[in-house]
Amino acid sequence: MIFSLFLFINFFFMTSVITAFSSEDYYEGKEAEKLIKSGIIQETIEEGDHKHVVVEFDNDFFWCTIENNGKKTCVLY
C-alpha cells in the first residue's frame, strides 16, 4: 500500500514537472532580452535583487524577471 502510494506520488510529480518545463512559452537569455526590448512594458516591479516587468508582445503578456547579474527570463502570463 505504501509503495503504491509512493509510486503514484512520484509519477504525479514527474509528469507535472515535465509538462511545466516542456512549454515553448518560456524564454531566457538573449530570447528574453529580445522579447523585453521588442514588447511594450506595461508594469515594472522593483525588488531587492531583481525586478519584474510585465511585457505585452504580439497580443500576449509575459512575466519577465531581470536579475541584478543580468540574467533574464520570461514566461507567458
Res 1: pLDDT: 61
The tens digit of pLDDT for each residue in 12-46 reads 454 444 444 555 689 999 999 999 999 999 999 99
Closest C-alpha among 25, 17, 9 to residue 75: 25
Q: What is the pTM of this model?
A: 0.67
Residue 68 has pLDDT above 50, yes or no: yes
Residue that has been written with the C-alpha cell 510585465 in this structure: 54
The per-residue pLDDT of the chain, averaged, comes to: 81
Cα(64)–Cα(51) distance, rounded to whole angstroms? 8
